[in-house]
Structure formats: C-alpha cells, structure tokens
Structure 1
Amino acid sequence: MKKDSLKSEIEAVYPRMVELRRQFHQFPELSFKEEKTSMQVASILKDLGLDVRTGVGGNGVVAILEGTLPGRTVALRADMDALPIQDEKTCDYRSQVDGVMHACGHDAHMASLLGVAQILQQRKEEIRGRIVFLFQHAEEQIPGGAAQMIRAGALDGVDAVYGVHLWTPLPRGVVGIREGTLMAAADSFQIQVTGKGGHGGLPHQAVDAVVTASHLVVNLQTIVSRQLDPLKSGVISVGKLQGGESFNVIAESAVLTGTVRTFDPEIRSDIQRQIGKVAEQTCQMFGAQCDYRYQWGYPAVVNHPAEACQVAEVARWMLGKDQVWEISPMMAGEDFAYYLQERPGAFCFVGAGNEQKDFVYPHHHPRFDLDEEAMKISAELMIHTALAALK
C-alpha cells in the first residue's frame, strides 16, 4: 500500500476517529464493566461488515477481516477500560461519569483501531490472509482481560500479534520500541499488622500496629537497596497505609498495600519471598502478628526480536529514522504480555504528548489528555505493520 494513498485515507477517516474517541472519553467504564463500550464497538464493527464475536472472555470483542486470498493471520489489539479517577479537565468531551475517566488513552486506542478496521475493510481485495481485531476489556485491573480472551480462543489461528500504546511522555511524531523486555511484571501485595490496642498515653500496655507498620514500610525498601543485585532492577512501592481510628488510641491493626515491579522472573520470585520474610520479622520485633498476601499480576512484556524489528522498520519508513527511538525498559505493566507469551509479536509506543497544546500530564493523572493527531500515526503504523506481517 502506497504511503501517500494511505495518508489520504486516514485523513478522511480521522474526523470519525476523533468523534469516537471523544464519545468513549465522555462515557468511560471501569475494568470488567465495559458493557456499553463493548456493545458500541461491536456495533461499529458489524456495520463495517466484519465477522464479530462478543462476550469473548468477558466483555472482549473480536472481529475478523477475511482477505480475498489465503495467507497468514495477524492480530491487532486495543484496550477498552477506564480508571477510577475524577476527570479534572476543562473541555467539551470531559467525562460525564463521576469518578471514572479514560486517563490512559484507551479511548484513543479504540478509536484508532476502529479507523484501521474501516480502512482495511475497504481494501480487503488487496489483503492476503486474515486480520483479527482484538478489543480487550480490563487491561487496568488484575487478572486482566488478555488472559481471559486468550482462554476464550481470541488467538486461535493467529500467527503474530501487535499492539500500540499512545504515550504522552513521548512527543507526537515519535515511535518508541525495543527488542526484548519492554515493560515490567506488575504484582501487588497486602500486609495486615495486628497488635494490641490501648490508651494513647499508655503505650507500654499496647502493641502499636501503626508504629510496626511504619517500620515495615521502611524495612521493605532494604530488599531492593540491600538484598538485590545493584545491576538488576526491582521496585517495591507501598501505596496505601491505613491504621487507627482516633488520635488518642493506639491502633490494634494496620493494613498496607503496595506493588512490586520486576523484569527478571527469578528476581520477581525472590522479592515475593523476601517481603514475607521482612514482614514477619518486623512484626515479631514489635510483638505483632502478620498476615501477608501476594497477588501475582501481569508478567513482563517481552517483544519478539523479529516482530519488534519489523515494527521499527515500518516506523522508520513512515517517519524517518530519527523519529524511531529505542527506549529503555519501563516499570509500568501491561497485560499485552500474555499475548506475547502465546504468539510472536511486539508492543510499541506512539508519542502523543504536545507541550504547545498542554498535553503534558502523565498517564493516570486527573488532567490527562493526549494529542489526537497521534491517532493518525498509530493507525498508519498498525496498517503498514499488519500488511507487512501478512507478507
């Protein structure tokens, strides 16, 4: 497919992509609750004439475009869920759902892939093989929708799978990718500390759960700083600590929850064990009891070399070699990892930041927004990558 011809087709579809993106943005749905979103997506795909399955692994939607000639099968994925965040932007398409917001770009992912589906369906006579469009639910919440869709057969017959994430830390016009490990495994943990409540003025008669938990927060950091090889990576972050009911009462219990991010499976398992050990020993030191629970989350996103190289080559052909960056691995997590454990493929980032338009807020921020022009680049990259993979 010629570059200039495709750009013209994307320009023609772009207003519809913007319209859809803003509709999704105004009416977001949380993970595992994307009923209306998936219905809207499925309706659009059916109107395009695609073979559509709904309820795939939950709220997932799978659409199949059959080319006129036999060949390989390539899958393209977009995620659909929003986050429990209050939208603080001032714009016409601000979220209309209190406390729920598309703060990670999934609305634009859906709109981009729907545009891709429309353009490719119009050119189906030129396609050799099949293209599978995966609209996935629940990327933001463990256990995630990817594994559920895979179990429901979403990858059956698929030879390669690709995903694009619009990413505001990168400027619009840039594509970021790397071979091998791209994103971290993302786990979570909870530790409940149980002591002995008492009078705030008589601490010697109590076992202070808040003090114990506070020491535990600090002690957990020594796992990475003092027990992990400095040349290897890991993060332990305690995001929430709750304990106590009154200023003059020593708390009997406290609960802390956090996340663990790693790249190496051995480091991942070791940190899981070490957290339990540190929690138990810290609680024993203060005479408290410990209940430790660890939830295994998404594995690391590991791009297959040949497929990542292909995406990079397509992006350089589209944008120029200086606009394709080999980015460092990042500690964010993504359940696209499950697809890559099952099939060859690659995941990449398309820059969607723009300082001049004030699209500078990070993902998961209440004022997050992105440069919608980046959807053109995402659509073009997905189309050229899919066609190249089919060949």
Structure 2
Amino acid sequence: MTNEWLQKLPQEKIIEWRRHFHQNPELSFEETQTAQFIYDTLQSFPGMKVQRPTPTSVVGILQGAAGAGKTIALRADIDALPVAEETGLPFKSSVDGVMHACGHDTHAAMLLGTAYVIAQMQEQLHGTVKFLFQHAEEKPPGGAAEIMRSGILDDVDYIFGLHIIPNLKTGSIGIVSGTATTSADGFFLKIQGRGSHASMPQLAVDPVMIGSQIVTALYEIVSRNVTPGEKAVLSIGEFSSGDMPNVIPDTAKINASIRTVTPATRKLMENRARTIIDSICTMHGATYDLDYILGYGPVINDPQLCDIARAAAIKAVGEENVFESPQLPASEDFSAYTEKIKGCYFILGGGTEADGCSYANHNPKFVIVEDAMFNGTKTEIQIILDLLSQ
C-alpha cells in the first residue's frame, strides 16, 4: 500500500475503542453512555461538528474544504443484545446479561477510526461526510426509522454500512448487488377453543388439532404459492398448549418467523397466513387473536454504489480479499435507509474457525479477530476518498 493516509490509521485506538464498547454494552434505546463516549470522541477530531438526532444516537459532520460535492453517510450501529457473555475475553462485558454479541462494538470502533483519519484530510474533500452512529438496530421498529424521521439524512446522496461476520476470512470484504438481506416478519397467534377431558374429545373445540392443521397449511405456502426460485422461508418457533395429559386444553399458541426478499412475496405470505388461520379456526368453531408484525424490509443495494465500494475495497485491502457475497438470510434496519437513499451494505470477514471464530452472531461465545477491523476502516476511508477527493 502506498496511500499516505495509511500512516494515520489509529490501529491501537480502534482496538481500545472496541474494547471499551465491548466492556460497557447497552441495550437498544438505552445507549446513553455509549452515545456520550462517541460524542466526546468525535468532538476531539478537527473540523468535526457533532449532533444528536435522537437521545442515544450521534452524527459527526465533516464539511470538505475543497469545494462543493456529494453528501455521503457511513453508518455504524451501536446497541448490544440481552445475551450473557461466555467468551472468557479479558475485556468481557461488565454488564450481567448484556453483550455485544453481534459485533456492533467493532462497527462503532471502525467508524471512529474512519472519522479520525478523514478529519485530518478535510482540505482535499469536495462535499460532506456524515458519520452516523445509530442506536437500536436490534429492536424493531429500529433506530434507523427514527434517524430517517429526524431529517438528519435529508441531504444525503449515498449511504454505506458494513457488518462483521465470523466464519469468513479475516479482513475480507464481501459485496452483493441488489437485494442484500431478507425482510423479517412474523406473527403471534393465540387460538381460543373449548377444553374437555381427553376421553371426550367430541365435547371440545380442540386448539391442538386446529393448530396442527394451521401449521401444516402454513408450511405449504412456500411450496404451493411462491414462485419457484423466489426466496421465502416460514418457520414455526413455538407451538404450545396445555400441560395435563388427560385434558384437552382451551388454548394454543403458535409463533412464526417469515423471511422474504420482494414486496410481492412479502404481501403474499401475509395474506395466505391470515387466510389459513381465519379459515381453519372458523371451520372448527374456534376464535383467535393474531398479532402479525411487519419487521425490517430487505436491504436493497444500489449496483453503481456496489461497484464503487468494490473498487475502493480492492484499492484498500487488495483484490485477493474482496469477494462477491451471497445474499444474507438475516435482516437489518439499514433497509430504512435504502428505501429512500441510494446505499451499499457490505460485509467484513471477522475470522475463520481456524482463528477461533466459529460461533455466529448473537451467540454468547461470539468472537472476532480484532485485526479484521483495520480492513473495514480502510475500506470506509477509501470509499470516502474515491467519492469526495476528485
């Protein structure tokens, strides 16, 4: 690498910041101390203006001194999860039952590193950079929707974000054009029947039998209604009822997760699920209470921005470390941004099983190779320079 800015990369600070965040995790919508730490750190960077669009989010704004240009945003989420850490790290969480089990501590540290470097290059930038440290990605309706409502991104032309993922080569950058993630919907269903002694089922309106028919029919939606090749997943996470073997219970509960990638299939899954539940319950004389939740939509990557990010990543970390990522089966509230702003959401390899990084995000044993963060920061810096320094 011959880029002069590489000498400015604050590797020790990035690790220090990450470990601070990891030891002091805060849950969604509660990131008070995390946001204050970020605010104070950004305030120390030359030329950085800092705003608080919501009580627990922070935006650093750097106006380029080389003239007019695009306004771009880079986003890091900062919230932790209600997970009891089991990593044994020397800087493990100091908060019982709360852990940065999804890597948001690394996202925040990487973006601080990016802001640190770019703040020293203000004179060569045309346009504006907004460094967005977003709260509450993990808890629907999500912090991204609040950020959009705040108006802080109204003037943004492009937005970029990244996510660290284990079981991938350390420091590798993966980019996928088009639909990058799935939507995340689901429902909570309570079936109200009429109980009876198990020896007299003819007197019951059996919610277990009704629920079984509903589950079977729900699992047929994808195979019988969704266009072949279209991605859709329906999974039952709970089917529970009663605890006495000689009694048919009054009620049953069914909870489900539904993942899709297009608006049409998303609506189809909802309509079919509602119809199945209503028809089967009505047929058997049961009533029901259905709470159908529309969660995060799919993240849609702009192909042109993906090309820009890919080229930047190749410059920053080498072509051998850049790959075409498959579509992610997870969901992300970054979708609230790409609904309105051209965006690119890419992934960073956090380390392989050989590196000890075999546990997925949200696992209490989730760990990453800290050196991976440097490639994430390098890529973010190069994206900014490619867009604003010409």
User: Scaled by the length of structure 2, what TM-score is found?
Assistant: 0.94
Tell me which residue corresponds to 2:40.
Answer: 43
Q: Which structure 2 residues correspond to residues 48-127 of structure 1 after superposition, within 5 A?
A: 48-49=45-46, 50-54=48-52, 56-70=53-67, 71-127=69-125
Unaligned runs of 5+ in 1: none
Tell me which residue corresponds to 1:9.
Answer: 8
Tell me which residue corresponds to 2:382.
Answer: 384
- Of stretches 277-286 and 101-110 in structure 1, the one that deviates more from structure 2 is 277-286
Q: State the distance in 1 between where 2:211 and 2:126 align.
A: 60
Q: Secondary structure at the match of 1:389?
A: helix
- Of stretches 39-48 and 278-287 in structure 1, the one that deviates more from structure 2 is 278-287
- Runs of 4+ aligned structure 1 residues displaced above 6 Å come to none
Match of 1:151 among 146, 149, 169: 149
What's the CA shift for 1:215? 3.5
Deviations 1:67-93 (A, max 9, x none): 222222111100011112221211112
Q: State the distance in 1 between where 2:215 and 2:3 align.
A: 56
What's the CA shift for 1:311? 0.4
Match of 2:347 among 336, 340, 349: 349
What's the CA shift for 1:137? 0.7
Tell me which residue corresponds to 1:18.
Answer: 15
Q: Is it true that 1:32 corresponds to 2:29 in the alignment?
A: yes
Q: Structure 1 residues 233, 22: CA separation in 2 closer, same or farther (over 3 Å shift)?
A: same
Q: State the distance in 1 between where 2:94 and 2:202 align.
A: 52
Q: State the distance in 2 between where 1:321 and 1:124 align.
A: 28
What's the CA shift for 1:245? 4.7
What's the CA shift for 1:151? 1.0
Q: Secondary structure at the match of 1:377?
A: helix
Asked whether the 8 Å contact 2:167–2:353 carries over to 1, the reply is: no
Q: Secondary structure at the match of 2:164?
A: strand
Whichever residue aligns with residue 376 of structure 2, its letter is S
Asked whether the 8 Å contact 1:262–1:331 carries over to 2, the reply is: no
Whichever residue aligns with residue 384 of structure 1, its letter is Q
CA RMSD for the aligned pairs?
1.8
Q: Structure 1 residues 236, 132: CA separation in 2 closer, same or farther (over 3 Å shift)?
A: same
Asked whether the 8 Å contact 1:57–1:151 carries over to 2, the reply is: no
Asked whether the 8 Å contact 1:73–1:159 carries over to 2, the reply is: yes
Whichever residue aligns with residue 244 of structure 1, its letter is G
Asked whether the 8 Å contact 2:70–2:157 carries over to 1, the reply is: yes
What's the CA shift for 1:229? 1.5
Asked whether the 8 Å contact 1:303–1:346 carries over to 2, the reply is: yes
Tell me which residue corresponds to 1:368.
Answer: 366
Unaligned runs of 5+ in 2: none
Deviations 1:80-124 (A, max 9, x none): 111122212111122222222111110100011011111111222
Q: State the distance in 1 between where 2:45 and 2:245 align.
A: 62
What's the CA shift for 1:20? 1.5
Q: Is it true that 1:185 corresponds to 2:183 in the alignment?
A: yes
Q: Secondary structure at the match of 1:128?
A: coil
**Larger fraction in strand:** 1
Q: Secondary structure at the match of 2:346?
A: strand
Q: Which structure 2 residues correspond to residues 330-341 of structure 1 after superposition, within 5 A?
A: 330-341=328-339
Q: Secondary structure at the match of 2:188?
A: strand
Q: State the distance in 2 between where 1:165 and 1:384 align.
A: 17
Q: State the distance in 1 between where 2:309 and 2:84 align.
A: 35
Tell me which residue corresponds to 2:304.
Answer: 306
- Of stretches 157-166 and 290-299 in structure 1, the one that deviates more from structure 2 is 290-299
Count, aligned residues: 387
Tell me which residue corresponds to 1:139.
Answer: 137
Asked whether the 8 Å contact 2:75–2:132 carries over to 1, the reply is: yes
What's the CA shift for 1:45? 1.1
What's the CA shift for 1:313? 1.0
Q: Secondary structure at the match of 1:163?
A: strand
Asked whether the 8 Å contact 1:68–1:125 carries over to 2, the reply is: yes
- The share of aligned pairs that are identical, in percent, is 37
Q: Structure 1 residues 200, 19: CA separation in 2 closer, same or farther (over 3 Å shift)?
A: farther
Tell me which residue corresponds to 2:315.
Answer: 317
Q: Which structure 2 residues correspond to residues 285-300 of structure 1 after superposition, within 5 A?
A: 285-300=283-298
What's the CA shift for 1:183? 0.8
Q: Secondary structure at the match of 2:350?
A: strand
What's the CA shift for 1:265? 0.7
Asked whether the 8 Å contact 1:82–1:103 carries over to 2, the reply is: yes
Q: Secondary structure at the match of 1:59?
A: coil
